[in-house]
Structure 1
Amino acid sequence: MAKEIAVVGAGIVGATASYYLARAGYQVTIFDEGIGQATAAAAGIICPWLSRRRNKKWYRLVSEGAAFYRQLMSDLDSDGFPTDAYKQCGTIILGNKPGYIQEVHDRAVERRKAAPMIGTIKILAGEELKGIIPPLVPMDNALFVGGGARVDGQALTQVLLQAALSFDGCIHNEHITLSKNKEAFSVNTLNGAVSFDAVILAVGAWLPQALEPLGYTVDVRGQKGQLLVLQTDSPDAKDYPVVMPQGEIDLLPFEGGRVIVGASHENDKGYDLEPDPSILTPMLGQAIALIPSLKNADLADVRVGTRAYTSDFSPFFGTVPGLEQCYTASGLGSSGLTSGPLIGYSLAQMIQSKQTSLDEADYSTNHYITQTP
């Protein structure tokens, strides 16, 4: 049985895996360079049931990922850690095309049969919508989904890492490389090469760079994501549902009057981490068009991160081909905060030789990681 585990990358996948492995009694060492992490820059809407995507394997992953949050929050709470980074506050879907809201409503009703977590589904209009989110501009109709939730990725990963450390895990903020000499597989740190019983590579969009020295090519590319953190003087904002208009932006309310606007999806600027006003300014304008009072909010922060995408936009996880002691996950894309905790938990289960709730063959690394001749 593996006892000493290295987790490379402290985003949502790595942090969750670290927490559950350390909780199970493994000696966990976390390495994170702290550059470009998608989770640290992300705030997510956990409401996957409304997607039009027809990829059944992807839908199962995100649907079960949304449901897994209940277990994750229960486990953190039982271990004495805060859970307010996540809140099941409901989701409001806005539409500007005729028939769109009814279409989404019907899809949600059908999917609720297999996913009761969806909860209340109701079309709202006029004063009824205004009563739920008073500052929202008048809308003819919208859809409320009671099971929708929001999560602050940065806050959640910090809690997960604190929990892992409380179970005697440790973290090193440094860049590492991997090397293989015949059968010896090593993690090269500032203090030299170190061997572990198992390694989890949870480095997201940087997986190609991490595996290239070992002779692998990886079907993963980076996608830039930017968001705005606005500080309002409305303490009631934390009780509002998240808002999903048609288009690029979403609006996520948090404690203390914070409202997060975002995030962008920039395929042509994958690893660029500089804030771009040409993207951020229109995003702010769209937010103000929906909630005019946001024009008086202060810009508290701008977050920029790099998501990982595969050529078919599907995530994967499992062992690296030819390296049984090396586990990985990548390609989560913009649904990373929905599926990431479940994937991290699944990797922890695999290391413990336990059954996962997902069919691992559906998300096999073999389709995306290739050994070069």
Structure 2
Amino acid sequence: MEVKKLLHMAGGIGKSSYASNSKFQEKSILAIRPLLEEAVIEVHKSLLPEKMVVADLGCSSGPNAFLVLTEVMKIIGKQCQQLGVQPPEMQLFLSDLPGNDFNTLFRLLDDFEECMKAEKDASSVLHFVAGLPGSFYGRLFPSQSVHFFHSSNSLHWISQAPEGLDNKTEHVPLNRGNIYIGKTSSSHVVNLYQDQFKRDFTLFLNSRFNELVPGGQMVLAFLGRKENDQNGPLNSVMEAISKLLDSMVLEGLVEEEKLDSFNMPLYAPSMEEAEAVINAQGLYEIVHIKMTEVNMDTIQGGENVAMSMQSVFGPVILGHFGDGIVDELFSRISKFAAEHLVKEETKVHFLAVCLKKKEQM
């Protein structure tokens, strides 16, 4: 699976699009708003740049991308009023993989500009918005050019499903019966996922270190899990999808080999895992790191749960299995969710991190 080409949220503004099904992600962004405010204020106050570059990594195609920019602009505008200084000119980048629906994103730009005119704190801030396609697992910007990075709901997507899961030498898939880390997954499978996350997160941190100005910061929020718990909400959702796909294999709707070769390019690390990778690099001061819980009460009813899942996981499933099964699969997910998932209060663990670039010796 070529993740860089296939991974994106469902585009457009239709019923199953990400733009129409991202209320939970909006809630998770607002949950870390105090952390965002503290970091943006500190960067501006300590550097007082005449021109300030801010980038949202993994912006996707819905209104949440502009929610982040709106909050940053309001924070900067209010801060400048309090300090009695001229606001910096702001270059705002929206970045995601090339498959992202940038067309839908840019159609929302006029609405964003109208909102900015009406915002008392942000209306005086001169700003320029640009899109930037590319993977954040590598360089995106010139050296020491960005003051602040934000990324929400993205870093749990790894650059690829871990190599070795197909076990081609013995012709027996290591993770048979699972599309992620499940109850029957071996410790070797878990280690492969952990190693892939470590490699990717290390590359992310190194790339951003080169791009941040001295004193620059970033706020990151992504799916996490409790230490030594591989049976969290993400695992449960993936196991449900896996079982439904398996039932479609038994009915002849999905090829068994196709299912055996499918593994989600996801990983939800524990706080200890993420912290260990950060400390191993020695590039950042950890200003804040905490595991938070976000309730999924914004998604009500089996059909809405299914559409929310389809907006996130649909394109990856489509890319691997083809479009012949997607509607049927998510119809079954809707029924399953109505019977099981929506009867329980589901809280998702999010890792919220604020990092400050260390001074180079």
Q: Could you tell me the TM-score, scaled by structure 2's length? A: 0.28
Please state which structure has a larger fraction of its residues in strand: 1
TM-score normalised by the chain length of structure 1: 0.27
Q: Of Structure 1 and Structure 2, which has the larger fraction of its residues in helix?
A: 2
